[in-house]
Amino acid sequence: MNADYQKVISTVYAEILTQENIGKVPDYIPEIACIEENKFGVNYTDLNDNSFGCGDFQEKFSIQSISKVFALSYVYEELGEKLWKRVDVEPSGNPFNSLLQLEADHGIPRNPFINAGALVICDILLEICDKPKEKMLEFIRNLAEDDEIFFNEKVAQSEMENSFRNTAMCNFMKSFGNIHERPTAVIDLYCHLCSIEMTCEQLSKSFLYLANGGKKPSDNTSVLPFLKAKRINAILLTCGFYDESGEFSFLVGLPGKSGVGGGIIAILPQKYCIAVWSPKLNPKGNSYRGMKFLEKFTTLTGETIF
């Protein structure tokens, strides 16, 4: 079925606007707590560069954990399969900031999308790059074909001042030998990556390589080989929404990733990427309206990976 995506997006967007906006903006990062909670943007981009958006789709927001996908993609391509000795690919079934399984698992995080896994990825970035912050911005700007992508220093600082749990996790993994660099440097890089700001329009374009077997569709350059893109999509499906990954798959049926800034990116391989932003989060830390929107979107288009 080839849906009229633009029509479906406008219909679902208008319908969701009429419904109560449930959830809470997270209050543990003061710079994010003050965001206007009824912001709502959606942007669709496909492999033929058709792109359209609704609402606040050109407004920047904190991409938070969505940045974990960019970091993983870069590190996986640089390091290859030995990456999986330091981080696993299993769903954790636990909240994103949980320390619960780390001791039993000898400091090996369950997957790269929980905080522990992303901290290991940041540690590797510090090991393999001279200037990891600059490298990641360059990587993302190339994907988005847009240089107007930056860290928000205030968000990064405010997160660093409140990063007691992430710091504990990082030190704990260091005690198992799975963090090689200084924990303070790892936390600094992690908080900066979380603070990157992008619009829904930039996000949906920059994720197209995962819809296109690892290649940027605009110029056919390889970001990742097909096998690696396939595997990242698989981890997104099983781990992209922490202990709500099963629910997202059940309701939406696409690989995707959320962030506590209220963003969600979802991918239909061989077809499109869609980014949604709405800051109020459900109790599992995923955007309430973002999930509602995507559930209705895939139901009406009749297309999922299943």
65 labelled binding-site residue: yes
Interface residue list for ligand DON (CB under 6 A): 64-65, 96-97, 115, 159, 166, 194, 258-260, 285
The residue (of 110 and 228) whose beta carbon lies closer to ligand DON is 110
- 3-state per-residue secondary structure call for 84-129: HHCCCCCCCCCCCCCCCCCCCCCCCCCCCCCHHHHHHHHHHHHHHC
Structure tokens at 63: 């991409």
d(Cα 37, Cα 134) in Å, to the nearest integer? 31
Pick the closer one to ligand DON by CB: 166 or 204. Answer: 166
User: Toward ligand DON, which CB reaches closer, 123 or 303?
Assistant: 123
Q: How far is the CB of 1 from ligand DON (least distance, A)?
A: 31
Shortest distance (Å) from residue 143 CB to ligand DON: 19
Question: Residue 190 annotated as binding?
Answer: yes
Q: Is there a binding annotation on residue 242?
A: yes
159 is in an annotated binding site: yes
Task: Tell whether 94 is in a known binding site.
Answer: no
Is the Cβ of residue 107 or residue 256 nearer to ligand DON in the bound state? 256
Numbered residues of the known binding site for substrate? 65, 115, 159, 166, 190, 242, 260
Numbered residues of the known binding site? 65, 115, 159, 166, 190, 242, 260
